[in-house]
């Protein structure tokens, strides 16, 4: 008898919990923390058609968003670099990113600067698994202007919409 009463109570509790789920809960997006590194090199000016000032980089990303990444520098105002990113994951998805501002902090060595995306880089969607995604990535690191290399560490949150039914 006790098992039968317990089963009824469990069924009633489950039904009550389902009725209490807010509308749209099943449609909610899923967010996750991501992090990794970016290693890029400056390209030759002739290879920078996307940059109005012929300054750009290409390289790799590791960690949670592995693939190829690069930047076309749109404008420089003092230590503020207005940039446009392109990012393709190693699975072939493209990540769309809002133009951002990289702030350079000079060091005692004129060939080396520290760099920081103080306001982050906003994800505005993409293709494949990044279709409809949004979020913000923050990155900081250093550039060796003599060697033409940039090393950054990124971290942030990416939110993905509910997976579409096939």
Q: What are 114's two structure tokens?
A: 């520290």
Average pLDDT over residues 78-97: 97
> Which whole-number Å values give the CA distances from 117 to 9, 50, 100, 138, in the listed order?
54, 21, 8, 6
Question: 28-160: which CATH number, 2.60.40, 2.40.350, 1.10.287, 3.40.1130?
Answer: 2.40.350
* Cβ count within 10 A of residue 91: 10
What are the sequence ranges of the domains in the chain? 28-160
Tell me what the pLDDT averaged over the chain comes to.
86
> Residue 157 in contact with residue 138, Cβ under 8 Å?
no
Residue 29: predicted pLDDT: 75
Which tens digit of pLDDT belongs to each residue from 8-58? 434 444 443 333 434 444 456 799 999 999 999 999 999 998 899 999 999
pLDDT at 5: 46
pLDDT in tens, 129-152: 999 999 999 999 999 999 999 999
pLDDT-derived band at 104, boundaries 50, 70, 90: very high
């Amino acid at each position: 008898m006790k098992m039968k009463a317990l089963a009824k109570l469990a069924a009633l509790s489950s039904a009550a919990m389902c009725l209490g789920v807010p509308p749209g809960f099943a449609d909610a997006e899923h967010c996750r923390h991501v992090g990794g590194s970016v290693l890029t090199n400056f390209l030759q000016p002739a290879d920078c058609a996307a940059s109005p000032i012929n300054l750009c980089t290409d390289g790799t990303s590791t960690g949670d968003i592995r693939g190829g990444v690069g930047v076309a520098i749109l404008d420089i105002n003092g230590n503020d670099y207005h940039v446009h990113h392109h990012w393709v994951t190693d699975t072939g998805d493209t990540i769309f990113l809002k133009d951002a501002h990289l702030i350079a902090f000079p060091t005692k060595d004129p060939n080396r600067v520290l760099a920081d995306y103080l306001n982050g880089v906003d994800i505005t969607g993409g293709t494949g698994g990044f279709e409809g995604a949004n979020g913000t990535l923050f990155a900081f690191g250093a550039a060796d202007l003599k060697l033409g290399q940039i090393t950054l560490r990124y971290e942030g949150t990416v939110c993905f919409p509910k997976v579409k039914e096939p």
